[in-house]
């Protein structure tokens, strides 16, 4: 399969949108398809892009495309993707995070609104609100539809930012809203596509819209914070000169736009968890004890009439990192007069947005999930990845009851075990060490028929990394005499969250029927 992926590269294909490759025997019959009663472990983490495929494989009432109704798979997931899924969860959530920025604003009977386009809806809703769905008292969520008439976003780098901008300006003008939260998605979303001109257009679109929103905020007397959740295109090259389309470990900007900027100062050394305490101080709301982040304000004049709460706009330029080096810095290469002016005119600092500062293992890059979670929580929240990595290190992973039941059920009934997920060291959706731990566990339990279904996606990876990772898995299978890579597909077709059911169906039909480009198994 690794050779087949390399052949696809030679034909101009790339990891993200790779059409399904399916291992077949010498008679052309697909190997390792999902069959009735098989066990499946979907080892991805994060979760919001995993829900649709999981539903198609486990929900007997699923009706978005034709499915087999009686598969009766013993289906386990690494973490909880959604509460109502018919699956067993190996690492259940610690529970929702209470006392978030949104919770505190609601408790003070103030109106708030969250605005973005649908590509980032789960981040400004579920994650910002402490992994809670639903709407709080006085809260409004305004989601502008993301365009669906394009394959990749480099075809329309402006996305739906014009509509998002108009919605933000309308809410700024309405003084009944005390807190306005907005996310401009372009830099992050387009930055994952290897198209420099499109990324430059996305950066410049965000800069223009930021200017329009900030100008309106100043006219209306609302204090504005301009910041980000993680970096992306400010480090667009690896040391060897190849392109890095993933997230980065860069700090992010934090600009406080105030009508009297000379009377405001900010401390250095902050992180994303410090944003919520800063917002609360600006609004005149007491910071709760459990919110252990620290306000970034050193000093500031009164920003509200006596006895009234202040109004704050929090604007997230998703994926906009800070990098003092010009080489490979697409943000520095773009024309950004608004951000240049804001950083020169108003109090400005940078915030840590990666690694331990956002509850991730040291040295790892940031992401939108962890970023928004920490912006809202106002304190550090340890990630699922950190918990899983620790469990592998102390070997409690290998005693996990959900994994053991899935493996033993397949072993004892003569069924197959399928390991499904992202193939990567750097993806926020999962990593190879998690897959390798499951393979080792299956071997220790005496499992035989073990099949691996790999998803590729070059976000933060070296060019042609997918084939490299598949080769590593094939080598591991040979080393432990267990397992076989039987399916490979680009994550574009598997990890959707916008109800593009035609994409998910392609993955489903690969897994169940073996539909895809046949790759003949070598003797």
Mean pLDDT of 78-104: 92
**Cα 85 off chain centre by:** 20
Q: Mind listing the pLDDT tens digit for each residue in 297-306?
A: 987 665 555 5
User: In the beta sheet, which residues pair with residue 451?
Assistant: 418, 484
What does the buried/exposed string (b/e) look like for 425-443 if buried means 16 or more CB atoms within 10 Å of the residue's CB? ebbbbbbbebbbbbbbbbb
Residue the block writes with tokens 């982040």: 293
| Interval 216-245 mean pLDDT | 92
Is there a contact between 318 and 183 (Cβ–Cβ < 8 Å)? yes
Output 228 or 194, whichever has higher pLDDT: 228
- Go through the domains of the chain in sequence order and give each one's CATH number: 2-93+386-520 (3.40.1450.10), 101-380 (3.40.720.10)
Half-sphere exposure of residue 315, counting CA atoms within 13 Å on the CB side? 33
pLDDT of residue 385: 85
Chain position carrying tokens 């101009």? 12
Give me the pLDDT at residue 245, please.
87
pLDDT in tens, 443-459: 999 999 999 999 998 66
Note the pLDDT tens digit of each residue in 132-182. 989 999 999 999 998 878 777 889 999 999 999 999 999 999 999 999 999
* Coil, helix or strand at residue 187: helix
Supply the mean pLDDT for the chain.
93
Given phi > 0 = left and psi -120 to 50 = alpha, else beta, which region is 12? Answer: left
* Residue 142: predicted pLDDT: 97
Cross-strand bridge partners of residue 252: 351
Q: What pLDDT, on the 0 to 100 scale, is given for residue 302?
A: 56
Confidence tier at 372 by pLDDT (50, 70, 90):
very high
* DSSP result, 380-435: ----HHHHHHHHHHTTGGGG-HHHHHHHHHHHHHT--EEEEEE--SS-TT--HHHH
Give the residue-averaged pLDDT of 33-58: 94
Rounded distance, CA 202 to CA 247, Å?
16
Using H for helix, E for strand and C for coil, what is the string for 152-178? CHHHCCCCCHHHHHHHHHHHHHCCCEE
Provide the pLDDT confidence category of residue 264 given band limits of 50, 70 and 90.
confident
Sign of the Cα torsion 351, 356, 362, 365 reads negative
Q: Are strands 177-184 and 312-317 parallel, antiparallel or unpaired?
A: parallel
Tell me the backbone φ, ψ of residue 61, rounded to 5 degrees.
-100, 10
Overall average pLDDT of the 345-370 stretch? 93
* pLDDT tier at 431, thresholds 50, 70, 90: confident
Mean pLDDT of 268-273: 97
């Amino acid at each position: 399969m690794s050779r087949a992926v390399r052949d696809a590269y030679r034909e101009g294909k790339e990891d993200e949108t790779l059409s399904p490759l399916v291992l077949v025997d010498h008679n052309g019959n697909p190997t390792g398809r999902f069959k009735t009663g098989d066990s499946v472990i979907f080892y991805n983490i994060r979760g919001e892009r995993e829900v649709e495929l999981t539903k198609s494989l486990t929900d007997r009432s699923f009706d978005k495309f034709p499915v087999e109704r009686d598969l009766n798979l013993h289906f386990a997931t690494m973490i909880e993707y959604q509460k109502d899924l018919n699956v067993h969860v190996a690492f259940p959530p610690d529970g929702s995070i209470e006392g978030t920025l949104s919770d505190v604003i609601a408790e003070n009977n103030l109106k708030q609104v969250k605005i973005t386009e649908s590509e980032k809806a789960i981040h400004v809703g579920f994650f910002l609100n402490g992994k809670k769905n639903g709407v709080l008292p006085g809260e409004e969520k305004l989601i502008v539809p993301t365009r669906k008439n394009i394959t990749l976003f480099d075809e329309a780098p402006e996305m739906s930012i014009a509509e998002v901008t108009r919605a933000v300006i309308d809410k700024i003008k309405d003084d009944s809203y005390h807190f306005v939260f907005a996310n401009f998605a372009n830099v992050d979303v387009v930055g994952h596509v290897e198209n420099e001109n499109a990324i430059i257009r996305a950066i410049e679109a965000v800069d223009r819209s930021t200017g329009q929103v900030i100008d309106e905020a100043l006219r209306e007397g609302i204090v504005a914070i301009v910041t980000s959740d993680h970096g992306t295109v400010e480090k667009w090259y690896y040391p060897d000169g190849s392109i890095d389309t993933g997230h980065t470990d860069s700090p992010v900007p934090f600009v406080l736009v105030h009508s009297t900027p000379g009377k405001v100062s900010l401390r250095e050394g902050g992180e994303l968890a410090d944003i919520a305490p800063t917002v609360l101080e600006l609004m005149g709301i007491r910071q709760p004890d459990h919110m252990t982040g620290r306000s970034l304000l050193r000093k500031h004049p009164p920003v509200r009439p006596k006895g009234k709460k202040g109004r704050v706009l929090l604007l997230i330029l998703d994926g906009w990192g800070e990098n003092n080096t010009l080489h490979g810095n697409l943000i520095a290469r773009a024309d950004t007069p608004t951000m240049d002016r804001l950083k020169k005119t108003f109090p400005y600092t940078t915030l840590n947005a990666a690694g331990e500062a956002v509850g991730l293992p040291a040295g790892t890059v940031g992401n939108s999930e962890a970023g928004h979670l920490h912006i809202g929580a106002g304190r550090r929240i340890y990630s699922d990845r950190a918990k899983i990595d620790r469990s592998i290190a102390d070997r409690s992973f290998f005693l996990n009851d959900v994994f053991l039941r899935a493996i033993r059920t397949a072993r004892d009934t003569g069924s197959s075990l399928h390991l499904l997920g992202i193939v990567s060291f750097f993806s926020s959706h999962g990593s190879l060490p998690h897959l390798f731990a499951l393979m080792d566990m299956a071997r220790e339990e005496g499992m035989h028929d073990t099949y691996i279904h790999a998803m590729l996606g070059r976000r933060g990876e070296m060019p042609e990394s997918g084939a490299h990772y598949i080769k590593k898995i094939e080598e591991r299978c040979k080393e432990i005499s267990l397992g076989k890579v039987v399916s490979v597909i680009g994550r574009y077709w598997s990890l959707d969250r916008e109800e593009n059911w035609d994409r998910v169906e392609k993955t489903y039909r690969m897994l169940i029927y073996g539909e895809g480009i046949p790759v003949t198994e070598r003797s």
